[in-house]
Chains A and B, each alone.
Chain A
């Protein structure tokens, strides 16, 4: 079975890729359904003997997901319908489409659509079924929107996927609940031993919503008539064999097991089915467009099937199987005929249809047979199927079956009436004389028809074959005893003996059939009076109105919600986020906090001094109204933090913090020097009070959390184990560094990636709209155009070399002593800052031959390679290697691959610093004047360019 699905996928995708393939695409596409039918024939014997073919491929066993395929009686019937009609439709496409038109896309999609539908009927796992189900939605979306230049096609496609997609989501919820309740997602197991309970009922109701949307049942029906904008082969397939049958299929599968167990489910399905049957048929009776007439007819017929299958009894399921096959045969035929007529005359409107002459005789005959089957006239298969349905309902041990039966007969009479309307329309009974006598302007969705012409034999052949089958099965229904019987047996779980026959004697069911057909005839004969009654319907709100109203409501509601939630003020957003982040966990803390009394007040008196500095500069940074002073105070706070780190016993952190703080301060000065030196615009007292309140909430909650955390000290298993393994496993004595480059090296890789992204972002933001940098210019002036001093030059050069050497030492030594790639990189950054102070950006650029982003990239690449190379040798990611080397001067040195990784980190940080100077250091050497009047950005860029050109 998997093989058949793969053939569909390969053929479909192949055609999609060769979208310009012409007519040959139809022949290629035929491969897929023909393969399916061959496979079907080969395995049919097993199924007819009451057997089942299964195929299971493991997928995600932990999630109970498997490609679990099952071919039983009902699946056999469905595969025959899907692939049999598929062959007919694909063959029909050969003549329908313009010989010159590229068909790869549409045929490829049809093949995928067909494969997805096969997947739906073969899947034995609920989640797999859902996947195929959504695939049919997606492919049908693309197919309905095939003429995507046409706005109507786009909106119809959207409507289809929105409605069926929403139902699909409901269904997925139902599937998950059902799977959890049953303990398995395997459909056959669930059906063999159905779970029960309120949750299962809810699940079934949700699944029913999915089935209703898919099968276009009221009130979700409106997408199906709208989908008529698609080319006829697509409509044919969609209506007769695929897509809409999926909902019916699902109800058929579930009903025998759940119709009684899940309270309320059967009445819901039956009522929705009856409403759809009657309302769809009434709408069909008002249509002038033959295709629309058939579309509403489909809704009505699907309602009929919903009722039969939804009852869930053996006899009704048997009838449902017959109806689903009969409907496939006649509905495909009728759609094809409409397509042929449309093709040959340029219209589908019965009011404008020209008289069809003798050369249309065969076409008309084909249509009449199919319409007779739809109406349930004896000698056609439709009659057999309908009578089975009536008989099944008569025998049904269900309360209210008399009412249901009455509505079914009424619906059947309406069906007969619109079948008659269809035939009469073809014969010109509704023709309105037009001034010129010629057909009215062609519908834009119809293929261009320059002149009236009858179909070629090959065009009509598929429809004719299906019509002949309708007749054959109508006269000799016993041919289908095995297939339909087995299908019903596999649904009911017991052997259903099917004896399909044309004549059962004078029975009540026969009488009901007669009433239906005669009633239809009467309705047709009194059509002028009926039409007047039906005109009332046009004043009722239609399903389409409902769809548009709900879409408009959704958009309007989204606007209102957005307007309130997203009000455009960043302080409000941040305030809401912060308060939520504090209040929710804070409440939990208050309700259930471990409290062992206050921890010790102070562990070290040095901390008191440091905290005093830290908090006073932090307060200062918040209060001062001078921009750069605030930045400098923040820098002091950083140094105080470094002091606290030392006291805590974290020298690596202290080093890093100090280096970062130095660089940050330079950075702040560079970036903010142009901004107004003071913060203007004082806020109102109300906002200030609010701000203070939020800050107080945050501070108090954090305080509470810190105390609660300190009273709940966990044993340090992790820390102890890491300390223990640092030397033997990580070959390093500096445990913090070993964690960074070895134990949690993957985290570090992620973090340097973040740093790289931030660096690129900073450069992009700051330099956007500027010219790419040119060659460094020989510079004779220091920052601000002041002349350079030889003494400063020499001192700075010497300092730079010393700083770089220290940074390299920190990098190499970091595995055993305080240091490492981060600190080393930052210290090297300090060297860059020194050069900047001496000579501005040009000097910085002269420090290295490559561009800053190359350093950044090289670092990231080196770290990634060190991390991934062990994979090539079958080791885990970041597996550490070490080599002992005897080097001159240095003696025995252990080189670890962690050093390479750390070098990558070092390079990333160095690259970040270079890029930061690249971003902000730009004009310091040229425009140090802060007092000049503000310029427009464009002028600024131009001015820069002029200056660069001048130098």
Chain B
């Protein structure tokens, strides 16, 4: 690996990180794309450069390292699948809120401010008891 490629991978990581830390889902997806490019570059350049890894192309010692290539290839395809899924999330977010902003989770904020969700528990219990009342009291060993 050369300093150039190491620097390129590092720069891709840095730019990708900057984008991933944003609140717009589109930018996060683009950031993930750049991060995977950086990762693939690191992975690939960990192996030796050389002729295409095809038997007969040259002396086996001159061929490039096929192992990281195989890993990278599947990584590229999986990234495509993941990108599709994330884009679907962005699309859904647009359907629901007309934007792809990743909002602050309000229920988490409630917990932080001590407005925990234990009222929900009480609520649930109440409903459970109503359910019990609705059904005829079974004998102690009702298996249902």
A interface residues with partner B (beta carbon < 8 Å): 19-20, 97-98, 100-106, 146-147, 149, 151, 231, 447, 555, 559, 562-564, 566-571, 574-575, 578, 598-603, 607-608, 611, 614-615, 618-619, 621-622, 627, 630-631, 634, 637-638, 641, 644-645, 647-653, 656-657, 660, 663-664, 667-668, 671-672, 674-676, 679, 681, 683, 691-692, 694-696, 698-700, 702-703, 705-707, 709-710, 716, 718-720, 722-724, 726-727, 733-736, 739-740, 744, 747-748, 751, 754-755, 757-759, 761-766, 768, 816-818, 822, 826, 909, 912, 916, 919-920, 934, 937, 940
Given A644-B5, A653-B69, 14 other A-B residues pairs in contact with their CB atoms under 8 A: A100-B139, A103-B141, A105-B143, A149-B132, A615-B12, A618-B11, A652-B73, A653-B44, A667-B84, A698-B14, A706-B42, A707-B1, A709-B1, A736-B73
> Is B122 close to A, CB under 8 A?
no
Ordered by A's residue number, 15 sampled pairs between the chains whose C-beta atoms are within 8 Å are A104-B143, A106-B140, A149-B135, A231-B141, A555-B118, A614-B37, A615-B12, A630-B30, A641-B40, A650-B53, A672-B26, A675-B26, A722-B66, A754-B81, A912-B84
Q: What's the dominant secondary structure at chain A's contact region?
A: helix
A655 to chain B, nearest CB (A): 9
Set A608, A630, A724, A735: member contacting B53, Cβ < 8 A: A735
Interface size class of B (residues with CB under 8 A): 35 or more
B91 touching A937 by the CB < 8 A rule?
no
8 A-B pairs closest in CB distance: A699-B14, A568-B108, A19-B143, A758-B81, A568-B105, A649-B64, A703-B10, A706-B6
A772 to chain B, nearest CB (A): 17
A649 proximity list for chain B (CB < 8 A): 49-53, 63-64
Taken together as a complex, chains A and B put the C-alpha atoms of A102 and B125 apart, in Å, by 27
The answer to whether residues A634 and B42 also contact, given A660-B76, A723-B63, A912-B80 and a CB cut-off of 8 A, is no
A716 touching B48 by the CB < 8 A rule?
yes
Set B3, B15, B108: member contacting A707, Cβ < 8 A: B3
B interface residues with partner A (beta carbon < 8 Å): 1-24, 26-27, 30-31, 33-34, 37-38, 40-42, 44-56, 60-61, 63-67, 69-70, 72-74, 76-85, 87-92, 94-96, 98-102, 104-109, 111-114, 116, 118, 125, 129, 132, 135, 137-143
B84 touching A916 by the CB < 8 A rule?
yes
Taken together as a complex, chains A and B put the C-alpha atoms of A675 and B30 apart, in Å, by 15
Query: What residue in chain A is nearest B84 (Cβ atoms)?
Result: A762
Set A599, A710, A739: member contacting B66, Cβ < 8 A: A739
Query: What residue in chain A is nearest B125 (Cβ atoms)?
Result: A151
A575 touching B1 by the CB < 8 A rule?
no
Taken together as a complex, chains A and B put the C-alpha atoms of A627 and B19 apart, in Å, by 13
B34 to chain A, nearest CB (A): 5
B55 to chain A, nearest CB (A): 4
The answer to whether residues A660 and B80 also contact, given A599-B2, A649-B63, A653-B69 and a CB cut-off of 8 A, is yes
B137 touching A149 by the CB < 8 A rule?
yes
The answer to whether residues A675 and B18 also contact, given A149-B138, A735-B55, A739-B66 and a CB cut-off of 8 A, is no
Taken together as a complex, chains A and B put the C-alpha atoms of A468 and B29 apart, in Å, by 80
Q: How many A-B residue pairs have CB under 8 A?
A: 360
Query: What residue in chain B is nearest A676 (Cβ atoms)?
Result: B99
A238 to chain B, nearest CB (A): 16
Taken together as a complex, chains A and B put the C-alpha atoms of A808 and B101 apart, in Å, by 41
Centre residue among B56, B112, B137 by max chain A CB count within 10 A: B112
Set A101, A660, A763: member contacting B141, Cβ < 8 A: A101
B10 touching A631 by the CB < 8 A rule?
no
A739 touching B141 by the CB < 8 A rule?
no
Taken together as a complex, chains A and B put the C-alpha atoms of A570 and B33 apart, in Å, by 18
B83 touching A667 by the CB < 8 A rule?
yes
Taken together as a complex, chains A and B put the C-alpha atoms of A103 and B140 apart, in Å, by 9
B112 touching A698 by the CB < 8 A rule?
no
B66 touching A559 by the CB < 8 A rule?
no
Taken together as a complex, chains A and B put the C-alpha atoms of A647 and B5 apart, in Å, by 12
A660 touching B77 by the CB < 8 A rule?
yes
B94 proximity list for chain A (CB < 8 A): 674-675
B1 touching A611 by the CB < 8 A rule?
no
The answer to whether residues A600 and B2 also contact, given A631-B30, A761-B85, A920-B87 and a CB cut-off of 8 A, is yes
The answer to whether residues A762 and B24 also contact, given A719-B65, A937-B95 and a CB cut-off of 8 A, is no
B74 proximity list for chain A (CB < 8 A): 740, 747-748, 751, 822
Query: What residue in chain B is nearest A559 (Cβ atoms)?
Result: B116
Query: What residue in chain B is nearest A915 (Cβ atoms)?
Result: B84
A615 proximity list for chain B (CB < 8 A): 8, 11-12
Query: What residue in chain B is nearest A648 (Cβ atoms)?
Result: B49
Taken together as a complex, chains A and B put the C-alpha atoms of A467 and B20 apart, in Å, by 76
A920 proximity list for chain B (CB < 8 A): 87-88, 91
Set A447, A657, A696, A739: member contacting B14, Cβ < 8 A: A696
The answer to whether residues A699 and B17 also contact, given A599-B2, A672-B90, A751-B77 and a CB cut-off of 8 A, is yes
A759 touching B84 by the CB < 8 A rule?
yes
Centre residue among B12, B79, B132 by max chain A CB count within 10 A: B12
Taken together as a complex, chains A and B put the C-alpha atoms of A844 and B29 apart, in Å, by 26
A727 touching B55 by the CB < 8 A rule?
yes
Query: What residue in chain A is nearest B46 (Cβ atoms)?
Result: A709
Taken together as a complex, chains A and B put the C-alpha atoms of A419 and B72 apart, in Å, by 78
Query: What residue in chain A is nearest B121 (Cβ atoms)?
Result: A555
A223 to chain B, nearest CB (A): 20
The answer to whether residues A98 and B63 also contact, given A151-B129, A574-B20, A634-B33 and a CB cut-off of 8 A, is no
A147 proximity list for chain B (CB < 8 A): 140
B53 proximity list for chain A (CB < 8 A): 649-650, 723, 734-736
